[in-house]
Amino acid sequence: MSNEAMVKEIVGAIGAHGAWKLKLRVAITRGESDVLPEKVKCDDRCPFGRWIHGPTIDAETKAGMPYQVVRRLHREFHETAASVLDLAIRSRKEQADALFAGEFTQRSEKLVRALSKWKGELS
């Protein structure tokens, strides 16, 4: 896979994961969601997850530190998003808010920084 194609995937991931902030905020406010936490927790079902776990990335890239870090942070992002969503749909708004403002936001920011760094290394 070319660096240009990888950069395109990374840019898309940054935008998509940013959109999750809004989705989670809405779920916290409404106390409901169209998506189940069990589905959100799976980091290989979103478009970026299918790509990062898929066969189009070569073994050398998968062995590299940027890939390893991003894959781990992506998994942690999904785990925390699922926890926020679970609290939200169980009407535990204060706990969902706290987790969203704390751990979720930290993990989201770390993921975006790692994605941006990886993108810079490929450009």
The pLDDT value given to residue 3: 87
Mean pLDDT of the chain: 93
95 close to 83: Cβ distance less than 8 angstroms: no
Locate 49 and state its tokens: 């997850």
Q: Name the domain count of the chain.
A: 1
| pLDDT, tens digit, 9 for 90 and up, residues 94-121 | 999 999 999 999 999 999 999 999 999 9
| pLDDT, tens digit, 9 for 90 and up, residues 68-88 | 999 999 999 999 999 999 999
CATH number at 78 reads: 1.20.120.30
Q: Name the pTM for this structure.
A: 0.91
pLDDT of 1 strictly over 80 = no
pLDDT of 14 strictly over 90 = no
Q: In the chain, what is the straight-line distance between the N-terminal and C-terminal CA atoms, in Å?
A: 14
The pLDDT value given to residue 99: 98
Domain that holds residue 99: 3-122
Question: DSSP labels for 75-111?
Answer: HHHHHHHHHHHHHHHTT-HHHHHHHIIIIIHHHHHHH
